[in-house]
Amino acid sequence: MNSVSVRIAGANGDGVESSGSLLVKVASRSGMHVFGYRGYQSIIRGGHVWFQVRIGDADLHSHGEGIDILIAINQDAIEHQKSHLNDNAIVIYDPSKIKVDSLDASKYRLVKIPMLDIAIEVSGDPIMRNVVALGAVLKLLGMDLGAFTEVITGMFGRKGGNVVESNVKAASRGYNYEGIETAFKIIGDGKRRYSMDGNTALSIGAYAAGCKFYAAYPMTPASSILHWFATHEDKGVMPKQTEDEIAAINMTIGAASAGVRAMCGTSGGGFSLMVEGLGLAGMLETPIVVVESQRSGPSTGVPTKTEQADLLFVMHASQGEFPRIVVAPRSIDESFRIGAEAFNLADRYQCPVVILMDLYLSEYVKTIDGLDIDSVVVDRGKVATENAEGGRFKRYMLTEDGVSPRAFPGSRGFEFVAASDEHNEYGDLVTDAIAGIDEAVDMRSKMHSKRMKKIDTMLKNERIFVPSVLNEDAAYFFVTFGSTTEPTLEAIELLKAKGYSFGLVSFSYILPLDKDKTRKMLEGKKLINVEGNYTGQLAKVIKMETGIDMHGSILKYDGEAFTGEGIANDAVKFAKQ
């Protein structure tokens, strides 16, 4: 596989984000495989930001290690990014604004383009300097300007021909600037692809599954889910920006209780506030979906950096015991599928489902062939259509599988009480004062057992609560969950090229875990867990559920995302033992 990493760097407000997104779209339309990721500061205005676009001729699993082409928008871009430059990297800069004295001219190709002067000449807008640089990049990559023109026309055509013309002129000047010649040749397959981030894929999956209500208080990196629902309000969904996360989960419970498929989203700090509401959904047996997109913590932590340190938290959040499902998508495609299937699981087992994302998966952009929306099947679970026993409706009927028939409010003959206290089959509160101590104790035991039976029913009926295994005969196996899986796949290929045999055990559905089947899958394997946290939380879950220890660990908690090359380099020491 051949790939080139292009990084655009400058200050917040310099158009770095839009320039990176534009390059992603152009490369996607040109039949390339693309992986884009950005770094930004936790402030509204100012600070150093960058957008890295990796372009290849085959599927990409991470944003890559190092920089092959750097577009330096300001002086800070040189100082902040020089340590990431690969040997023979190309640095594009405007000599009127930037000095490159700190760079070794013998190691890098320094390309001077008067980007600002050209931008002013063709449009009068300084921001167009980024487009000049992108034009040069397209020439360096051997790409045609036709795809750029098509994308720009689609983006700005409604603003008038002058806007499109100015962009095309600026890109053409950079493309044809003296001395700019093709330095890399990535051969696309001619297939036009979509580019998408994890939050968008999850939102589309939820919508395809019939989600009609989404509530959130904005919190990076989950905020773009709220943005997606807000921009699709005309499609029959109700987005609600609440005053806080407590209101968000309570509104979601209310909507789900009324029969609507409902979801809320946040990051770790906001989920801390949602915890009591999560327990309420467990007691009411209300099917809700909660998205928790992790970022560096504790407290506010590093709001714009990634981490996987909330796994144990979401598994055990809220007091007491109640069934819940915790699932961590591993890719863009899986974010879509799980975004849809989470609602079926919530309805089928009448319990909360927590989708555990993280900043990396929520925000990186990757080319995909498409989303199979027609494959989404809606299963509302046990919905009562008749009251077989007559009289009052037993909403919390004691059943062998732990799942009671439910009815939507407003259905004649299906009235019931829903309260946060322990209750009987009708929903009436069970306390010593009301029912007497013996009856209260007996009903508490029966009702709690009924709810917990759902876990056995899940494990019996579903085949998803076990990890998947790749390269069954490998000498070593990486163990991953969520977003670490993609770069680990890349590491396996890099290690294979060096003669090392590595496989993969990866988890998406983590709770409940079929411990017997999982133990059989893991026994006898040399396991190396790859996690974005300090304590190896998945390894602890595996040890607790199966008794199996890891052979080694590759842990990262600096806020930066894993790359395939980084994992491969760390893994070699285990292979040599």
54 touches 60 (CB < 8 A)? yes
φ and ψ at 218, to 5 degrees?
Answer: -55, 125
Res 46: pLDDT: 66
Q: How many CB atoms lie within 10 A of CB 462?
A: 16
Whether the pLDDT of residue 450 is over 70: the answer is yes
pLDDT tens, position by position, 288-311: 999 999 999 999 999 999 999 999
Residue type present at position 300: T
pLDDT tens, position by position, 536-553: 999 999 999 999 999 999
70 touches 77 (CB < 8 A)? yes
Res 19: pLDDT: 95
Whether the pLDDT of residue 390 is over 80: the answer is no
Mean pLDDT confidence for 158-181: 90
387 exposed, middle or buried (CB, 10 Å; 0-12, 13-18, 19+)? Answer: middle
Residue type present at position 267: S
Res 286: pLDDT: 98
Res 430: pLDDT: 85
Q: How far apart are CA 314 and CA 302, in angstroms?
A: 19
Residues 6+ apart with CB under 8 A from 300: 269
- Of the pLDDT bands very low, low, confident and very high (cuts 50, 70, 90), residue 438 is confident
| Dihedral angle, C-alpha 428, 432, 437, 441, nearest 10 ° | 50
Whether the pLDDT of residue 8 is over 90: the answer is yes
Whether the pLDDT of residue 212 is over 60: the answer is yes
CA-wise closest residue to 536 among 559, 561, 518, 553: 553
Mean pLDDT of the chain: 94
355 touches 327 (CB < 8 A)? yes
Question: In what side-by-side order are the strands of the sheet with 238-241?
Answer: 238-241, 211-216, 261-266, 289-294, 353-358, 325-327, 509-511
308 touches 537 (CB < 8 A)? yes
φ and ψ at 105, to 5 degrees?
Answer: -65, -20
- Of the pLDDT bands very low, low, confident and very high (cuts 50, 70, 90), residue 1 is confident
Mean pLDDT confidence for 32-41: 95
Residues 6+ apart with CB under 8 A from 21: 36, 51, 365
Mean pLDDT confidence for 14-26: 95
pLDDT tens, position by position, 181-198: 999 988 889 899 999 999
pLDDT tens, position by position, 119-129: 999 999 999 99
- Of the pLDDT bands very low, low, confident and very high (cuts 50, 70, 90), residue 472 is very high
Helix (H, G, I), strand (E, B) or coil at 6: strand
Q: How far apart are CA 430 and CA 440, in angstroms?
A: 5
End-to-end CA distance of the chain: 29
| Structure tokens given for 28 | 């996607």
3-state secondary structure 382-417: CECCCCCCCCCCCCCCCCCCCCCCECCCCCCCCCCC
Mean pLDDT confidence for 43-62: 89
DSSP 99-111: --TTS-TTTSEEE
Percent of the chain beyond pLDDT 70?
A: 97
Give me the domains of the chain, ranges plus CATH numbers: 3-192 (3.40.920.10), 196-375 (3.40.50.970), 382-462 (no CATH), 468-575 (3.40.50.920)
Q: How far apart are CA 305 and CA 318, in angstroms?
A: 26
Res 433: pLDDT: 57
Res 434: pLDDT: 60
Percent of the chain beyond pLDDT 90?
A: 87
Q: How many CB atoms lie within 10 A of CB 416?
A: 18
Q: How far apart are CA 345 and CA 139, in angstroms?
A: 49
Strands 289-294 and 261-266: parallel
Res 87: pLDDT: 94
